[in-house]
Amino acid sequence: MQRIIGPEAIKDIDFNTTQLVDVRSRTLYSFGSIPGAINIPATEMQKLYELPKDKTIYVFCQKGEISGEITEILLDAGYDASELKCGYLGYLSWLLEESGKKEEEAFCRQVEKSLQKKFRGEIWSRFTRAIRDYELVKPGDKIAVCISGGKDSMLMAKLFQMLQRHSRIPFDLVYLVMDPGYSEANMGIIQKNADRLGLPITVFKTDIFDSVYHVEKSPCYLCARMRRGHLYSKARELGCNKIALGHHYDDVIETILMGMLYGGQVQTMMPKLHSTHFPGMELIRPLYLVREESILAWRDENGLAFIQCACHFTDTCTTCGDGGRSSARREVKEWIHRMKETNPFVESNIFRSVENVSLNTVISYKKDGISHHFLEEYNEKHSDQR
The per-residue pLDDT for range 187-216, each reduced to its tens digit, is 888 999 999 999 999 999 987 776 656 655
Q: How confident is the model at residue 321 (pLDDT cuts 50, 70, 90)?
A: very low
Q: What CA–CA distance (Å, rounded) separates 154 from 147?
A: 6
DSSP string, 237-298: HTT-SEEE----HHHHHHHHHHHHHHHSS-----SEEE-SSSTT-EEE-TTTT--HHHHHHH
pLDDT at 323 over 70: no
Pairing of strands 370-373, 242-244: unpaired
**pTM to 2 decimals?**
0.73
Residue 33: C-alpha distances to residues 46, 61, 97, 137, 283 (Å): 21, 10, 17, 52, 55
Residue 266: count of CB within 10 angstroms of its CB: 13
**Average predicted confidence (pLDDT) for the chain:** 87
99/108 Cα distance (integer angstroms): 14
Residue-wise pLDDT for 216-262, tens only, equals: 565 566 667 788 888 999 999 999 999 999 999 999 999 999 999 88
